[in-house]
Amino acid sequence: MKNNLFYVIAAMVVLMFGCQYEFPEDLNEQPTAGGADFTKMVAVGNSITAGYMDGALYDRGQQNAFVSILAEQMKAVGGGEFNIPDINSENGFFDIGPNNVILGRLVLTVNPNTGSVGPAPIGQGDLPAPYTGEKALLNNFGVPGVTLGTALLPELGNPNHLLFNPLYGRFASNPGTSTLIGDAAAAMANGGTFFSFWLGNNDVYGYAAGGASNPALLTSDSDFQNRLNLALGAMLNANPEAKGIILNIPSIDLLPHFSLIDPLGIAIPEAIRPQLGAGLAQLNAAINGWNAGITANTDIPEPVKASLLRPTLSTGFDAYPLLILDPSLSDAVIPLPTGGTLTIPKIRNITEADGIKMPLTAQLALEEGIGISPLTPLNEMQFDHVYLTKDELEEIRNKINAFNSFISAAAQANSSRLILIDINDFISQVAQGMVSHGNVTLTATIVPPSGAFSVDGMHPNGRAQAFIANLIIEKINEKWGSNIPKTNPNAYPGNDLPR
């Protein structure tokens, strides 16, 4: 974790001003629905629609999902109640920790050993329990982890299937038979007049968060387009008079989830430094011996010498750049004093030029001691899931661009009934410091008080969700001559200060 995050937080508490991209309130006009009907809104989507924040689905997140905020503002123009499948958990469920302890959502904490600030589980969490409310009255069909494909499959709610998602199964109308899209479309057919559709993120983010190690998690272009048409078509056909919004996928480069861990500056625990230092000293002695022999050899031309020299390995354990195997390094064999030879492994510390990113999920691997250390190359096969290479990042960027083109085309094909909400562009503006309200700028970070992302670095926090709701309101008002009042984003919670 980056050690300077604490100082960034302190600076951000003071630095509260930025470029203006205001959402003014329409104080002099009466709220009107215009050319749209907001009597009953239905939302279908993945984790952001569900209100998943801080690596968990919990009460505060659900209550501050953008669709919940949007529905509340729509009440001024005839909108009805917006029922959500309450999770009834203050801390939610993040992971199973040591000794099978159920861990709750992530919060910012100070590492007592290093002084660095970063995400860590709050402590005790709760396993998702079945929804006990009236399923037929639900409006929010957001399910964390769902893809376009799984949203169309009944296996999503089947507890005996590998595709089972308990966060859908807990409120599925008929677990194992119903589908998420089918349930949302049924809600639309039962009086729905407006809908929000945001699916597709997990068709690429799941692959990215796993270090691009499982190609099966990356949806093909043809499958994405076909599934998008099926899912969106079901919502449109459920009520041919209804209108709605469709949202696209933010660029991976805008998500702090992939930059919170600095592979160039991993803090090595004090307890293992002596042993690792001894091993590194031996390797560096061998490398220095090899380099000295190459340098002293007058038969080797200078340009060739440069290609044969090997970089020594860092011993700076406060901020250690992890190792990688590099086949381009020269073959290096040195004689041993006791006889025989030693082949120096082709390893080096990674550099900025390698362009490697590590998803936040890699933090668990680091903390659980799976073997990532100064003596273990990051790109050994068993660690493929904890990092992304430059080529993998480019693949993911291209995939997001392709998926967004399909989403844009679908919106254009149904332009009389649909608005495309360009969240990718919106978050890009956030990253450029162009979005603010009341002179408080939103930033593309997890740093309180102005950070837009929750502590998991991928999902917007409550304050950013309010900005998203206002953006949607702005587009609806422009499209259909409505006058839905906007909310005050600064009245919604961002990330808590470090504990």
* CB-count exposure of residue 217 (10 Å: 0-12, 13-18, 19+): middle
Cα(301)–Cα(294) distance, integer angstroms:
10
Q: What single string gives the DSSP state of each residue in 218-232?
A: S--HHHHHHHHHHHH
For residues 470 and 487, the answer to whether their CB atoms sit within 8 Å is yes
- Phi, psi at residue 462, to the nearest 5°? -60, -40
Cα(39)–Cα(308) distance, integer angstroms:
73
Three-class secondary structure of residue 420 per DSSP: strand
Q: What is the pLDDT along the chain (499 residues), one digit of tens a residue?
A: 334 443 333 333 333 333 344 444 544 579 999 999 999 999 999 999 999 999 999 999 999 999 999 999 999 999 999 999 999 999 999 988 778 899 999 999 987 766 778 898 999 999 999 999 999 999 999 999 999 999 999 999 999 999 999 999 999 999 999 999 999 999 999 999 999 999 999 999 999 999 999 999 999 999 999 999 999 999 999 999 999 999 999 999 999 999 988 899 988 888 888 988 999 999 999 999 999 999 999 999 999 999 999 999 999 998 999 999 999 999 999 998 888 899 999 999 999 999 999 998 776 666 554 456 667 888 886 778 889 999 999 999 999 999 999 999 999 999 999 999 999 999 999 999 999 998 889 999 999 999 999 999 999 999 999 999 999 999 999 999 999 999 999 999 999 999 8
Q: Which helix (H) or strand (E) is 278 found in, with range?
A: helix 273-296
Give the model confidence (pLDDT) of 380-425 as tens digits.
Answer: 867 788 899 999 999 999 999 999 999 999 999 999 999 999 999 9
Residues 6 or more apart from 391 whose CB is under 8 A from it? none
Give the model confidence (pLDDT) of 15-72 as tens digits.
Answer: 333 334 444 454 457 999 999 999 999 999 999 999 999 999 999 999 999 999 999 9
From residue 254, give the alpha-carbon distance in Å to each of 141, 453, 461: 26, 10, 15
Picking from 311, 219, 316, 308, the residue whose alpha carbon sits closest to that of residue 276 is: 316
